[in-house]
Structures are given as C-alpha cells and as structure tokens.
C-alpha cells in the first residue's frame, strides 16, 4: 500500500499545479519535494487513522457470524505497510503450497504475540482465524477487536471444559467452510525459542473436521519486536507441508503430533543454522 501512496503523492503534485502554478516558480526546487513528502505522509496517517477507528468501532459483545470481508481486506492491505514502517522484512518459503487449500488447520511454533500477524501477512489470500489465549481480550483489547472480526477464537488454557468448547467451535467453523483455523500446538509462547512439547488435543480440530493440515515454522519474531524502528530485522516463515485430509483422517492425534513436531523441529534447526551462517 505504501507504493500506492507514493504513486498517488507523485500524481497529486502536477494535479495541484493546475490550480496553483507551483512548478513554474523559482522556489519549486524545494517546494515540490516537500509537497510530495507531505502528501505521502498524510495518506499514510489517514490510512492508519482509519485502521484504528475501525478497530475501536468493533463491538466484542456482538457475535461474529460469518466472514467480515471489510476487516479482512483492511488487515490484508495494512499489515504489509506496518511491517515496512517498523523496518521488518519477512522471508518466506513454500507459501505456494497453500494455494487452493481451504478450509484447513494451520499449525506453527509460537515465539511472540506478533506471530499471527506475520502469518496473515504472508498468507493474505487464506481466510484464516486463530485460536488464541483468552487473556488477549483483556491485555490487548485493540488486537482482540480485530481478532473478533477475523473469526478468531479465545481459549481458556487452564479450563479443560472451556477449552473443549473452543475446539468444538473451531471444528464447526471448518466443517461449515467459514474459515481456516490457525493454532499454536505448544499452547504457550516459547521463552527459550526452542520448540516445546505439543498439546495433542489441538489436533482434534483436524481429525474431527476432516481437513488438511498446513505445517509452518517461524523464526525471528522475538528479535524483530526488540529491534522495532531501531534497525532492520528479518523474520523467517516457512510452509513445510500440507498434509492431505485423507492422511489426517487415518492418523491419531498422537501420530499427527509426533510427525509434525519432528518436521518443525528439523526445519527450525536447519533454518537457525542458515541464519547463523549469514551473520
């Protein structure tokens, strides 16, 4: 979206010249660049204001029935701009494997609260909602509003009965082809950065709904948050495999957990070695 605003700002300068002959003035050498920069910054600020206003307009008490195309579209065009502004680059591989895969369950390791934003940015055409900790709704109310519109589901990790209800709702959403569901099977953010043991119950979403599983890994999100604005950072996002629904239905949750854990652990190790070799 930043490129669109750059083009719009460049086009606005000669357009303004039709009303105010600025390009023929002696001071246009310094005035034109300032006008271009001012228009560009103004467009970015207006966009961000719209994003914030739309977020605070969400009523969390109103049930979200179906997909909000407006909010999904707004997130789709805003996330790339935000990542550029905070100087974060995402290098991704394997995203083409997800084309045409819907609905599905996406699994990924969990390093930071921005992990879902990275995945949404790199898979913009996948209608995706996440199962996220219920604490987000109290600790990050603005984020929670957008989660609500994106069909995300809060889960109480300390209450097995409530967690089961969330799993059942996720299964319903997939079966009704409303949305794909993203989960972090570790259950919590990994403080050490290493892959933590999985909660096998999360894979019931796939086995009970009969959907394929998209296996992904992330590296660098924690470091990127520490370096926001200060220096450029790179996040690495890899789509490893899409396990077909037929295979998923023939495997137990324990078998799926073991297979996916091994894949993710191996890729995280290889990717980590590659990153170290570049430094």
Segment 22-67, tens digit of pLDDT? 666 666 666 778 888 999 999 999 999 999 999 999 998 888 777 7
User: What ranges do the domains of the chain cover?
Assistant: 2-53, 61-278
pLDDT in tens, 222-237: 999 998 888 899 999 9
Q: What dotted CATH number matches 61-278?
A: 3.40.1130.10
The single-letter DSSP state of residue 132 is: E
Confidence of residue 272 (pLDDT cuts 50, 70, 90): confident
Q: How far apart are CA 179 and CA 130, in angstroms?
A: 10
pLDDT at 29: 67
Give how far the C-alpha of residue 75 lies from the chain's centroid of Cα atoms, to the nearest Å: 9
User: Are 238 and 271 a contacting pair, CB within 8 Å?
Assistant: yes
- How are the residues of the chain apportioned to helix, strand and coil, as percentages rounded to the nearest 5? 55, 15, 30
The three-state secondary structure class of 5 is helix
User: Are 102 and 213 a contacting pair, CB within 8 Å?
Assistant: no
- In our burial notation (b when 16+ CB lie closer than 10 A, e otherwise), range 202-213 reads bbbbbbbbebbb
Q: How far apart are CA 39 and CA 37, in angstroms?
A: 6
| Residue showing tokens 């207006």 | 46
CA distances from 225 to 2, 133, 171, 229 (A): 21, 20, 32, 9
Q: How far apart are CA 68 and CA 54, in angstroms?
A: 12
pLDDT at residue 163 tops 70: yes
pLDDT at residue 160 tops 90: no
Other beta carbons within 10 Å of 96: 9
Question: Mean pLDDT over all residues of the chain?
Answer: 90
User: Are 211 and 174 a contacting pair, CB within 8 Å?
Assistant: yes
pLDDT at 22: 64
Confidence of residue 13 (pLDDT cuts 50, 70, 90): confident
pLDDT in tens, 249-260: 999 999 999 999
Q: How far apart are CA 18 and CA 26, in angstroms?
A: 17
Q: How far apart are CA 153 and CA 170, in angstroms?
A: 8
Q: How far apart are CA 108 and CA 260, in angstroms?
A: 9
């Amino acid at each position: 979206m930043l490129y669109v605003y750059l083009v719009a700002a460049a086009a606005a300068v000669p357009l303004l010249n039709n009303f105010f002959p600025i390009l023929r003035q002696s001071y246009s050498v310094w005035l034109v660049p300032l006008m271009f920069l001012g228009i560009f910054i103004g467009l970015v600020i207006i966009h961000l204001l719209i994003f914030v206003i739309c977020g605070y307009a969400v009523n969390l008490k109103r049930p979200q029935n179906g997909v909000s195309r407006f909010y999904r579209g707004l997130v789709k065009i805003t996330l790339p701009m935000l990542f550029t502004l905070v100087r974060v680059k995402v290098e991704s591989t394997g995203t083409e494997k997800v084309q045409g895969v819907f609905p599905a369950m996406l699994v990924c390791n969990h390093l930071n609260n921005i992990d879902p934003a990275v995945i949404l940015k790199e898979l913009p055409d996948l209608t995706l909602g996440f199962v996220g900790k219920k604490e987000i709704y109290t600790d990050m109310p603005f984020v929670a509003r957008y989660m609500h519109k994106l069909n995300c589901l809060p889960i109480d990790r300390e209450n097995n009965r409530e967690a089961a209800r969330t799993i059942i709702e996720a299964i319903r959403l997939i079966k009704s082809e409303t949305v794909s569901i993203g989960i972090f099977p570790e259950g919590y953010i990994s403080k050490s950065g290493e892959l933590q043991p999985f909660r096998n119950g999360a894979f019931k979403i796939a086995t009970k709904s009969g959907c394929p599983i998209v296996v992904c890994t992330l590296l660098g999100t924690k470091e990127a948050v520490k370096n926001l604005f200060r220096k450029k950072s790179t996040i690495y996002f890899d789509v490893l495999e899409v396990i077909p629904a037929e295979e998923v239905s023939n495997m137990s949750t324990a078998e799926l957990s073991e297979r996916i854990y091994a894949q993710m652990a191996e890729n995280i190790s290889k990717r980590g070695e590659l990153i170290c070799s570049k430094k």
